[in-house]
Structure 1
């Protein structure tokens, strides 16, 4: 018999800015230590005003984790010191494993209109933090959009969707990218009054983030633009409110290691952070391949 996960607590998003002044809302990671292992941060950027996003995210370093950028509207371009270039348009995903070090930028390719999407930070275990960096540009056409009999639709970015007797892999799945954290990343659209139920193995930690409408988890309300951290169990059920709901469902295997963060560097010890700063300042990041 399945045990349905309850809502442990809610993390409201707060308004902040990052990069060269891009306005966004941050839930996971909005306060130091406010993580959902292995998820370190979730940012939502959403504006029709170019003044809120036009300055973008000029070149900056990362070490020790992965960044996942998922676009809903607008056009940004990724470039990094390894020579990768990626065009991020509606529905596309950038999956970047910073690992031992990468310097990249994400800059708007528009001067008007809506820019909307998410950036997720996913931690790496200590055994993978100093591996070579890598990058994958995933166009919208490679992200399955799966209609369900209930009227729901699920975009499968990572992991495997099991619904209506089908099994659908996302572009980041155990078969294509055997990541230690085994992440699951769904974008779910629910019409009013419809529910979404999915198996979620008890060894995975996870949360849901509602970005349109409202929803409930095991009868408890999850407000708009807030992250709902899931308690233990082996199944999750999310019910849409009277105006429907769109939400991200994220889950992964916890790493259960110390997290020491200094800006764009996430390691296990202060000494490793000091080394990361030294390596960046000395130009070692730029020379890494």
Structure 2
């Protein structure tokens, strides 16, 4: 016999509102995961939202800095960002594009705005790597907006599928270690949509335009703009947009359940591995 499918509705088990922060050479952003409110949500280590029309908030960018032991996911909504690394890789992120960078054993890279005015908006997510993959060779999965499929699973619903699946629409990102789901969901005013979350994953939803409710019946709870919901309690996510509609990201991944030794741009499993990362970087082995 096959196991019964969990059709219980997911609910908000915790709400988090991002905190103002700065990173790089002074880029202003909102830190949603990785701060005091929510240090991590296995396998997710950090979620930053950046969004401003003021060039002085982003123009200094993120000059060269190292990474080891995890992945960075940059999803651009508006603006242009040039990235380079010390392995000779270079590319330009344009509106609607995504870069999933596996730092692995280590690299040094920069992310610099390629514009002097206008709106710059997007997200950066850090995803942990399991111990067996922390020292793999660095690699990139980078996709322009025309390579990110769009699903219309119901009237008034549009979903950009970056990773995972919505019906027959499959996102281009592949990472077996955490089997991620990453969706950009737009709901017209008052429209509801149901989606089954991957079994066994940790999941969150973050509203960045409008507002929505999560859940149904007596357990439905509002989620306002710039609020994140940690989801639990069931697999079937029920979203309903407010009067102004809603746009949100829905992200889920398999928890690694491994010890985390973390300092700045290095994420390993033990303190000894962390110290070795600093030595390797200082001695030019990245």
Structure-2-length-normalised TM-score: 0.94
Check whether the contact 2:32–2:38 (CA below 8 A) recurs between aligned residues: no
Tell me how far apart the structure 1 counterparts of residues 71 and 36 of structure 2 sit (CA, whole Å): 19
Are 1:40 and 2:45 counterparts? Answer: yes
Identify the residue that residue 280 of structure 2 maps to in structure 1: 279
In the TM superposition, residue 33 of structure 1 has moved relative to its aligned partner by 6.2
Q: Please state whether the residue corresponding to 1:27 is helix, strand or coil.
A: strand
Tell me how far apart the structure 2 counterparts of residues 195 and 85 of structure 1 sit (CA, whole Å): 41
Are 1:2 and 2:2 counterparts? Answer: no
Question: Residues 216-248 of structure 1: CA distance to partner in whole angstroms, max 9, x if unpaired?
Answer: 111111121121000131211111111111000
Question: Residues 51-97 of structure 1: CA distance to partner in whole angstroms, max 9, x if unpaired?
Answer: 00000000000011000000000001110111111110000001100
Identify the residue that residue 179 of structure 1 maps to in structure 2: 176
Unaligned runs of 5+ in 1: none
How is 1:1-289 mapped onto 2 (pairs within 5 angstroms)? Answer: 2-31=7-36, 34-162=39-167, 167-172=168-173, 177-218=174-215, 219-285=220-286
In the TM superposition, residue 147 of structure 1 has moved relative to its aligned partner by 2.5
Tell me how far apart the structure 2 counterparts of residues 253 and 21 of structure 1 sit (CA, whole Å): 33
Equivalenced residue count is 277
Tell me how far apart the structure 2 counterparts of residues 231 and 146 of structure 1 sit (CA, whole Å): 24
Check whether the contact 1:28–1:227 (CA below 8 A) recurs between aligned residues: no
Check whether the contact 2:150–2:169 (CA below 8 A) recurs between aligned residues: no
Check whether the contact 2:63–2:111 (CA below 8 A) recurs between aligned residues: yes
Tell me how far apart the structure 1 counterparts of residues 30 and 61 of structure 2 sit (CA, whole Å): 15
Which shows bigger deviation, 136-145 or 43-52? 136-145
Structure-1-length-normalised TM-score: 0.93
In the TM superposition, residue 201 of structure 1 has moved relative to its aligned partner by 2.9
Question: Residues 93-127 of structure 1: CA distance to partner in whole angstroms, max 9, x if unpaired?
Answer: 01100011011100010000000000000110001
Question: Residues 5-56 of structure 1: CA distance to partner in whole angstroms, max 9, x if unpaired?
Answer: 1100011101100000000001111128621110111100001000000000
Unaligned runs of 5+ in 2: 1-5
